[in-house]
Each structure stands twice: as structure tokens, then as C-alpha cells.
Amino acid sequence: MLDRKNLVQLMKTVAKADPSTPTAYSFNGESLSYDALNETLRRELNELAGTYSLYRENKNLIFSMIEETIDEVLPKKVEEQYNQFAEVKTFRQGDKPIFRRKFSNNTRAKQFITRVGLAGIYEVFKLGKTEESFEVRTSAIGGAAQIGFEEFLDGRVDFGVVTQIVMEGMDELIYKEMAGALKASINQLPPANRLVANGFDEPGFDKLLMIASAYGTPTIYCTYEFAVRMIPKDAWRYTEAMKNELWNTGRLASYKGYKVVILEQGFEDATNEKKVIDPGYAWIIPTGADSKPIKVAMEGNTIVDEYTNYDRSREIQVYKKVGVIAMLANNICCYCDTELLGDMKTWHLDGVTGKVRDYAGQITGSHDTIDGGNEDKP
């Protein structure tokens, strides 16, 4: 049986590995496939929790190893997945999560922050010309995995899988907060920097590109659903390579020379009905002072505990303090395609008008925004 140090290293190696690739991973002087690596971890953890009695005796040790694994792997996982538009930093417990503002030679870009708060409330405030740093407030997010009591009795608990499930859930929560912060920021953009159209308006989209290009080379961020519509009308200009690209992927990797970055789409539950990212939005962000509009702060250590249900099953619950903000400026543009907008489930927030609409297009209410401390109800 491995000692704690080597067992934690094995857990981290499995958590970082990609099960979909045939890569061989090095552990303890051996070259192992993902399946072999995961099986080794399962056997080792079975020595600690192969029976319910062993689990009760060793659960705190197992939880501490899961905590250490998540603390190292989750920030890197989030950074690798979203590094094209998000800056991720870790902070010790009690330290203020401070991000420094990056200045460019072009001082015309006035920046503002959209901070994600508790219960989905978004607070907007502007940065002064002399402010060089800002704090990202953190709050606890959680993930959980349920284990049936019979699984303990039968020795079928796979804590490697439990760790993966929890981390994936927390990763999805962070991504959802990123999407919410971006969407809540739209009202703060100048009217010239946003366009609402029914479908893809090529001249209108090109106008937004020209605004953003005054501050740097723009990059377009959108979902795949949006990208497949973002096709220039002048098909005679297409090269053979572009035609092949459209045939093979359904979209172009660049639009009139500007890079297109696809925002990964996800679903909020197993029904595959409600999407995480509203596909109706495309963001045009120039390179320059700060080309990563999303800031993610992770504070302190992960906490893992258990909750016993009435049927004696266990929920392994994980908590992590995370903060997310969107830092946008008047050098960023947003296009809203109303044909795609709100293709979520039963309702959507129109970030341009601030109205809440249902699937039938009926206005059902309004969304409060906060601008510089003054509440504005459309």
C-alpha cells in the first residue's frame, strides 16, 4: 500500500489525466495508461475504504487527500480550459484577492467591473483613472456526490470517480458564473458598442469590429451555434481551404481575418434542456491593456465533509471559496442575435433591454441593475 504522499500524488495524476486520449502517464517509475492508472488508485483507496468499517476509520484521511488534490488541480483545470478569456489566480485564506489593472498606451478605454454576488446578484462599478487594483470578493461554491450505503457494504465505492464528479461540478459552476458576469455587463457598454439584430447582420457586425479594432486587434468570442451563422455573404471570395473548413466544421476559424474563439457550451443538468451559455451573444474583445475580461479568484483551502441521509447514504460535499468578475470597457463590443437569444429553456434575460422574456416572447418582468451604486429599474 502506498504512503500518504505517494497516494496523493497518484490522485493528482489521475485528476489531471484525460481519459479520452491514449497518452501514457508516468507514476512511480512506471508508464501507465489512464485505465491502469485509475485502477491502481481504486485498489489503493479500497485498502482504506473497502468496507464500511474501514471507511469510518479512514474517512478524514481520504477527505484531506481529496482536498489537497482539488486545491492543486481545480485552478489549473479552470485556467487551461478558459485561459483565452479568463485570468485565474489563487490566494491564501484571509488574503484579499487583488487583481492589478493593466494599463496600455491607449487610455481612452474606460473600464468597469461587473462583480458576481450572492444569489445571482450582479454589482457594477466603474474604475477611476488612477485606480491600479481592485478586489474580487469570494463566496463559497459547492459540489457533492452521493454514495449509497450498499456501495460501502459491497466495497464498490470509487473515490477517484467521486473526486472527478465533484471537480466537474465545481468547474461547471465557475463557468456558469463567468457567463452570468459577462451577460450582466452588457447594459454598461456604450450604445454604439452593442447591436441587436434578428439573425446575422454582416454590415452591423463589421461595424462593431471596426469600433473594437480602434483599440487593438479584435478577437471574436461566441458559441458554436452563433459561429455557424457568422458566414460572409460573398461566397465567391471563399478559398478552397475555407470551403473545406466549412464542410468539415460547419464554421470558419476566422472571420475576415479576425480570430474566432468558441465558448464551450454545456447544460445545467442531465436533461440537456437548459444551456449554460446563451448562444445569442458574441463578444468582440481587442488585444491590448487586458485582453482577458474574466477574472477568477480562488481563496483558501478546499473543505470536504460528509452528510448522512435518512437512508444511510452519504453525500460527499465539497466547498471552495471562489470569486468571479467581468472587467469590460468601452473598447469591447457585443452582438445580440435575437433568433438565438434566450435559447435556454423557458425564459431568458435580455441583457440589452434588461427585460425578462419567456419562450413565447412575452415580457414577464424586469431585471435590476446597479450602476455606480444607483439602482436602475428598466
Pairing assessment for the beta strands 258-262 and 218-222 based on DSSP bridges: parallel
> H or E stretch including 21?
none
The residue with greater pLDDT, 303 or 152, is 303
How far is Cα 222 from Cα 217, in angstroms, rounded to an integer?
17
- Picking from 15, 139, 8, 134, the residue whose alpha carbon sits closest to that of residue 78 is 15
For residue 188, give the DSSP letter.
Answer: G
For residue 119, give the DSSP letter.
Answer: G
How far is Cα 283 from Cα 221, in angstroms, rounded to an integer?
5
Greatest extent of the chain over all pairs of C-alpha atoms, in Å:
72
The residue with greater pLDDT, 144 or 92, is 92
Write out the three cell numbers for 326.
467581468
Residue 237 pLDDT exceeds 70? no
Question: Does pTM surpass 0.85?
Answer: no
How far is Cα 126 from Cα 112, in angstroms, rounded to an integer?
4
The residue with greater pLDDT, 349 or 326, is 326
How far is Cα 29 from Cα 142, in angstroms, rounded to an integer?
35
Predicted pLDDT at 229 = 87
249: left (phi over 0), alpha (psi -120 to 50) or beta: alpha
How far is Cα 328 from Cα 241, in angstroms, rounded to an integer?
35
Question: Which has the minimum average pLDDT: 45-54, 289-298, 302-311?
Answer: 289-298
Q: With contact defined as beta carbons under 8 Å apart, do 71 and 176 qualify?
A: no
The residue with greater pLDDT, 346 or 149, is 149
Predicted pLDDT at 60 = 92
pLDDT average, residue stretch 257-274: 76
pLDDT average, residue stretch 61-87: 87
How far is Cα 10 from Cα 30, in angstroms, rounded to an integer?
12
Residue 29 pLDDT exceeds 80? no
Q: With contact defined as beta carbons under 8 Å apart, do 66 and 304 qualify?
A: yes
Write out the three cell numbers for 135.
478586489
Residue 118 pLDDT exceeds 50? no
Predicted pLDDT at 346 = 36
Could you tell me the pLDDT band of residue 374, with boundaries at 50, 70 and 90? very low
The highest-level CATH class for domain 188-290+330-376 is: alpha beta
With b for 16 or more beta-carbon neighbours within 10 A and e for fewer, the 182-212 pattern comes to bbbbbbbbeeebbbbeeebebeebeebbebb
Question: Which has the minimum average pLDDT: 120-129, 139-148, 233-242, 313-322?
Answer: 120-129
pLDDT above 90: percentage of residues in the chain? 13
pLDDT average, residue stretch 198-223: 91
- Alpha helices by DSSP H, listed for 222-356, are 224-227, 240-249
Pairing assessment for the beta strands 281-286 and 122-126 based on DSSP bridges: unpaired
pLDDT average, residue stretch 227-252: 77
Residue 211 pLDDT exceeds 90? yes
The residue with greater pLDDT, 59 or 156, is 59
Could you tell me the pLDDT band of residue 371, with boundaries at 50, 70 and 90? very low
The residue with greater pLDDT, 342 or 304, is 304
